[in-house]
Structure 1
Amino acid sequence: MDAVHLRNLTAAYGGQQVLGPISLDIRPGEHIALVGGSGAGKSTLLGLLYDQVRDRAALVPQEQGLVQSLPVFHNVYMGRLAAHSRWYNLLNLVWPRRRELRAIEPLLEKLGIPDKLRTPVATLSGGQKQRTAIARALFQEAEILLADEPVSALDGPLAHVVMGLMTESYATSVVALHDIDLALRYCDRIIGIQNGQIALDDMTRRLTPSDILPLY
C-alpha cells in the first residue's frame, strides 16, 4: 500500500473543536497504537482516518457494526460483499456456499468461536461479538486495518491471541487501545492523544509504560 498522509485534520461537536489540527503520516508496514484517556480523541481520529482510506481499509468499530439478527457466518461474509456480484451475495444469504464456509471456519477457529458459525449475533456475549467483528475485518483482506478498542471485552490471554492474529494478518494497522502493555508489545509506533492533540509520537522500542501513563 501507499503511505497515508493526513494534514490538518480537525473535528468539532456542538460548535466546539475537539480534535486537531492534526497532521501525521502512516507508512506501509507500520503497526500503530493510538493511546490516551477516554475522551482524548482517539475514536474521532480513527474515524477521520477511515474517511481518508475507506476504499482500502478494514474497520473494526467500537460499536462493532454487526447485524444482530443474522448469524456469525453472514456477518463475517459481509467483509467481502464488494468482491462479489449481488447475485452471488444473495445466494450466500439464502444458502452459504461451501467455499465461503471453508474460508470463514478457520478464522472462527483461530478466534475461539468455531461453534458459533450459525449462531445469531444477538445471542452472543460481548466478547464473542467483538471477535465476530474482528473476523469480518480479517476476512476482508484489505490493505490497512483500523480498529477501535478491538479487545476491550476479552480477557488477558485471549486479548493477546487476537492482537497477535491481527498483527500477523495485516502488515499495516492503526489500533486504538487503552491497554499500554498490549500497545507496547504488538505495535511498533505509539501515537498518544491528549486533549485532541498529538502529545506523543515515537517508536515503541524507545518507550516504556512510564512514558505513556501521563497521557491518562
Structure 2
Amino acid sequence: MRPPAIALADASAAYDGRPVLRGIDLTIRAGERLALMGRSGAGKSTLIGLIHAQAPERIALVPQGAALVRQLSVFHNVYMGRLDRTSTIHNLRNLVWPASADWAEVARVLARVGLAEAIRAKAGALSGGQQQRVSVARALYNGQPILLADEPVSALDRAQGAAVLAEMARTHETLVLALHDIALALAHTDRIVVLDMGRIVLDAPARDLDAAALAPFYEPAA
C-alpha cells in the first residue's frame, strides 16, 4: 500500500464560531485520484483549505475562482506558479522582459489547456472559462506532486473539462478535486468522498458508484 500523502484525523473548522467541518478523518495516499463532492455549502472549500495546510510545499493549488492578476498577461499569471524558485532579480526582469526559456516553458503548459495563443493577452480580458484554464495552467507549471483544485472546470463544458482533468492526471502523482459534475468525477477519479453538513457521509471507490448513488447528495437538504 502506498504511503499517505495527506492525513487528517478528527479535523474540524469553524467560521465566526459556526462549525463548518466536524470529525473529518481522511487519508489520501500517493497516486490517488480523489473527488470531493456534495451540495454547495457542504464544506468542500473549507476541506480543501485544511488539506492545503497539511503540506503546502508539496501542493499545487487551483483555488475556487481563477484568482488571477487581471492587469498582467497570461504569461505572467502562469509564471507566478514558480516565483518562489527563482531569484528576485530574475523575477523582476521577467516582469519587463521574459526570458526565452521561461516563455517557452509557459507556452508549452498553456498549450496543454488549449490557450497557447493567449500568452500575451491580459488576464482580465479573457472569458471566465479561459481564466479558469489559466489558473489550471499555473498549477501545472508549479509542478508539485499533489494537485489540489477547487472546482477547476466549473466554467467549462464537459468536453473541455474532461480534457483539462486528463492533463492534470497526466503529470501529477496525486489529485484531489472538488467537483460538482458527477459524470466527470466518476470518469476521472478513482475515489469519491461526499460531504454533507460538514461531515463525510460517503467514501467509496468510484468504480462502485454511479450517478444514481450520488444524485441524492445534490438534492436540496430537507
User: Does the alignment reach a TM-score above 0.5?
Assistant: yes
Map 1:50-129 onto structure 2 (within 5 A): 50-129=52-131
1:39 maps to 41
Counterpart amino acid of residue 66 in structure 1: L
1:195 maps to 197
1:21 maps to 23
C-alpha separation between the residues in 2 aligned to 1:4 and 1:111? 27
The offset of 1:2, in angstroms, is 5.2
Indicate the larger mover: 66-75 or 110-119: 110-119
User: SS of the counterpart of 2:78?
Assistant: helix
The offset of 1:111, in angstroms, is 1.2
Indicate the larger mover: 30-39 or 106-115: 106-115
Counterpart amino acid of residue 156 in structure 1: R
2:184 maps to 182
Counterpart amino acid of residue 172 in structure 1: T
1:162 maps to 164
**Share of identical aligned residues, percent?**
48
1:146 maps to 148
Structure 2: gaps (5+ residues) = none
C-alpha separation between the residues in 2 aligned to 1:68 and 1:134? 15
1:205 maps to 207
TM-score, with length taken from structure 1: 0.97
User: SS of the counterpart of 2:183?
Assistant: helix
The offset of 1:14, in angstroms, is 2.4
The offset of 1:108, in angstroms, is 1.4
Alpha-carbon contact 2:158-2:184 (below 8 Å) kept = no
Indicate the larger mover: 2-11 or 60-69: 2-11
**Over the residues paired in the alignment, what is the CA RMSD in angstroms?**
1.1
Offset from partner CA, 1:137-171 (integer Å, 9 cap, x none) = 00000020000000000112111110111111212
C-alpha separation between the residues in 2 aligned to 1:212 and 1:156? 18
C-alpha separation between the residues in 1 aligned to 2:66 and 2:188? 21
Structure 1: gaps (5+ residues) = none
Indicate the larger mover: 67-76 or 106-115: 106-115
TM-score, with length taken from structure 2: 0.94
C-alpha separation between the residues in 1 aligned to 2:7 and 2:16? 27
The offset of 1:31, in angstroms, is 0.5
User: SS of the counterpart of 1:20?
Assistant: strand
C-alpha separation between the residues in 1 aligned to 2:29 and 2:199? 20
Q: Which aligned runs of 4 or more in structure 1 are off by greater than 2 angstroms?
A: none
1:134 maps to 136
